Amino acid sequence: MGRIKAIISIFLVQFLLLQFTKSQQGFEESSAARTLKQEPHDSREVHCSRERSRTAWQIIEDYLMPFVEEEGYEISTDCRLHPDNDLFRDQEQHKINLDVNEWRCGYCKKSFRAERFLDQHFDNRHYNLLNVSQSKCLADLCGALHCDFVINSKLHKAKCNPAAVARNRHVCESLANNCFPISQGPSASRLHELFLRQFCDAHTCSRKTTPFPRGGKKRENLLYMATSILILMLLPLFYLLYYLYQRDMKRETQVLRRVSQVGRKAKPS
Ligand SMILES: [Zn+2]
């Protein structure tokens, strides 16, 4: 009878402990939700995609800026590709990426687990830093700059829309004219030509031409560095294994020698 009582009381204690931890978790969750809700959400909307602006910026950085830098050319603020004409540029430059899972706001130093949370924080807390008075949406140039090609380069089998292609080509050519006016000298002329080949030629329904035929920033460097680091890390491991193998072999031959010596000594008797 006493044993049954003890078992029941153990079960009871375990049940109570479980309930307590559950309620504790619930409390933590609700407090986390509250901190999320505390961030005042601004009802004003920005009609410009941050993600697509970022993609457009990356395309400019990778496939245009290496050539602009090579020419030592200064893009004017009248050009829509100038950093000042990107609504999100200032915020993007205030992103501090400390680790894969740690992003910090450069304005108020708050930390986040992922980039998208930092984006949300920018939208909610630092909305006032966006200059929305002028049309500075880089995402609007996504058609001309082939953002979709970059985002899903493998799914580029959509049906061609001649009207959209013509519109994108027009925007593309006007970018070449505004950003690299031929009248501004040989550097601007060369970049004008490059811009047409690199970005505008591919605005056609013919499948033969793809964007960025002149190439861009060397991304292989990163891969090369990663490979080198991996090799450097694996090398000591290889030597250790080799050393252990050699040691085992030596020990084996010693054992064999000892066995054969014992055998020889044993023979005469
Ligand atoms: Zn902040």
User: For residue range 124-180, what is the model confidence (pLDDT) as tens digits?
Assistant: 999 877 766 666 899 999 999 999 999 986 555 668 899 999 999 999 999 999 999
Q: Could you identify the residue written with the tokens 């193998």?
A: 245
In the prediction, which pLDDT does 136 show?
87
Residue 85 is predicted with a pLDDT of: 92
Distance 48 CA to ligand 1 centre (A): 20
From the CA of 103, how far away is ligand 1's center (Å)? 11
Name, in order, each residue with C-beta under 8 angstroms of 37's C-beta and a sequence gap of 6 or more: none
Cα dihedral 236→242→246→248 (10° resolution):
100
Ligand 1 centroid to Cα of residue 46, in Å, is 18
Handedness of CA 166, 169, 171, 173 (dihedral sign): negative
Query: Residue 30 pLDDT > 60, yes or no?
Result: no
Residue 165 vs residues 55, 144, 196, 216: alpha-carbon distances, Å? 19, 9, 14, 23
User: In the predicted model, is pLDDT for residue 39 greater than 80?
Assistant: no
- pLDDT given for residue 11 in this prediction: 54
CA angle in degrees (0–180, nearest 5) for 246-250-252: 115
- Identify which has the larger pLDDT, 250 or 142: 142
Q: What is the pLDDT of residues 56-73, one digit of tens each?
A: 999 999 999 999 999 999
Split at pLDDT 50, 70, 90, the class of 26 is very low
Closest CA to 138 of 181, 84, 178, 94: 84
CA of 119 to the centre of ligand 1 (A): 10
Task: Report the separation in Å between the CA atom of 105 and the middle of ligand 1, taken as the mean of its atom positions.
Answer: 5
Pairing of strands 95-99, 111-112: unpaired
Can you give the pLDDT at residue 207? 77
Among 11-20, 29-38, 177-186, 201-210, top mean pLDDT goes to 177-186
CA of 128 to the centre of ligand 1 (A): 12
The separation between CA 153 and the C-alpha centre of its own chain, rounded to angstroms, equals 16
**pLDDT surpassing 50 at residue 258:** yes
Half-sphere exposure of 67 (CA within 13 A, CB side): 22
The whole model's pTM is what?
0.65
State the distance from the centre of ligand 1 to the C-alpha of 123, rounded, in angstroms.
10
